[in-house]
Amino acid sequence: MAFEHTQVPGAYDRTPAKPDMADVVFREGAFLQGSELNEAQSILRGRIARAGGLSARDGDRIAGAGIVVNPGAGNVFLEGGRIYAAGDVRAVNAWTLEGVPMEGEVTIGVRLVRQVVTHEQDPDLLGLAPGTAAEGEAGAARIVETLVWGRAGDGKPGDLYPVYLIKDGVALDQTAPAELSVTLQAIAGYDRDANGSYVVDGCRVGALGRQAGNQIFVIEQGVANIDGFKRTRSASLRMAVPETFDTGRIDAETHVFSDGGSGTATLALRFPPLANLVQALVTKETTEAVTHGPSVGAMDLLSNDSVTALVEVRQGVTVYTAGTDYTLNADRVDWTPGGAEPAPGSSYQVTYR
């Protein structure tokens, strides 16, 4: 049969299938159904939860419910208190979670555990009015809801409502309980737009050095307003950040290769370190003997091509002047400027790149 109650056998409730029902109206002369009483409760419960959701969120701490993390033992102690969950403010007892991972992120929260109780488990639920037909007879079942502390992935029953986030053994937010979190969210927009995120107290950052390819930083305890919300940590936090570099292309960085006769040289880069070499253009400087042509103003071909510059042209102690005596013309020493030049057919030295 349709509309069975999700938890109590033999009971019915149409509300989940018909969420638009707003009232249950009892008519004279009509039978009273047990399902109608269930639906009246469901409608009221849903209305209260929706109204509460305008001011609070599941997992909001209303009172108490603090946290103490013991990374060495892998334990998390959680205080008793009151927490908003599933449309109501509920009490939760103190508890210690053991075997909590202290590396990475772990969600700590409360689980809402529901239990069906009938007269078989609790005889006090039998009819109470003496002398009536209901005396000592079975009546309605009860659904008992309790909050217990838990963590994501622990395999325990009940819906988990996150309260804390632990990162590498440190609870990231230990701000005292605040009411009306949804209202505060609306107010937070004004602070965020005007001031952004900022540190209120503490939260100084120190660099501890490099470890296994990561840069290790420590962030001390303190208070910060992040996106308009105040966040508090009572313990320092270590954070490992993968060490990466911003890279940029450097064009035309020129170096002179001076090996001192060893065949190798160390070049000091202007922007170290080097991520990768895209292209290397090598310009070699060489000296060769060239025979001047048979006539004055001749052009003498060099033995290498792609010549970029003539460094020096000399014959014995005579050093010729570039531009006045000669020019570079298509891998040739061009003597047409009309200045001084070697005698036709004589040999001279050319140093070029």
For residue 184, which amino acid is it? Answer: L
Residue 333 domain-assigned?
yes
Q: Which of 164-178, 212-226, 266-280, 298-312 has the highest mean pLDDT?
A: 298-312
Name the pairing type of β-strands 318-319 and 310-315. Answer: antiparallel
Q: For residue 220, tell me if it sits in a domain.
A: no
Structural domain includes residue 208? no
Residue 14 lies in a domain: no
The CB-side HSE value for 47 (13 A sphere, CA atoms) comes to 10
Average pLDDT over residues 199-221: 87
Q: Indicate the pLDDT class of residue 181, thresholds 50, 70 and 90.
A: low
Within a domain: 13: no
Q: What residues contact residue 113 under an 8 Å CB cut-off, 6+ apart?
A: 145, 146, 147, 148, 157, 158
Domain total in the chain: 1
Classify residue 274: in a domain, yes or no: no
Q: State the pLDDT confidence band at 112, using cuts at 50, 70 and 90.
A: very high
Is the link from the previous residue into 273 a cis peptide, with omega within 30 of 0? yes
Alpha carbons 178 and 351: distance in angstroms, whole number: 83
A 10 A CB-CB count for 168 gives 16
CA distance 85 to 231: 21
In a domain, residue 310? The reply is: yes
The DSSP symbol for 343 reads P
Using a cut of 0.95, tell me whether the model's pTM lies above it: no
User: 335 is in which domain, residue-wise?
Assistant: 286-352
Q: Do the domain assignments include residue 327?
A: yes
Could you count the other beta carbons within 10 Å of the beta carbon of residue 344? 14
Q: Residue 102: which pLDDT band, with cuts at 50, 70 and 90?
A: confident
